[in-house]
Amino acid sequence: MSTADKQRLLALFQGALHDREVSLRIIAGGDHCCTGHYAQVRDDAVEFFSRVLPPQV
């Protein structure tokens, strides 16, 4: 998915889900594993889900 498509998707989600938190990290130049950004993408997902999911007991 292109960076421009991700920006449009983020705007769509923000408009449609205004009562919920929406997060989409967009890395210029792409974020597929072959671009070497997998650690940043993973860390972003961990940070987001750690914030929005209830703690496990």
The C-alpha atoms of residue 2 and residue 28 are separated, in whole angstroms, by 10
Cβ contact 31:40 at 8 Å: yes
pLDDT of residue 8: 92
Give the model confidence (pLDDT) of 10-49 as tens digits: 899 999 988 888 877 787 777 666 677 788 888 888 988 8
HSE-up of residue 27 (Cα within 13 Å, Cβ side): 14
pLDDT of residue 31: 63
In the chain, domain spans? 3-52
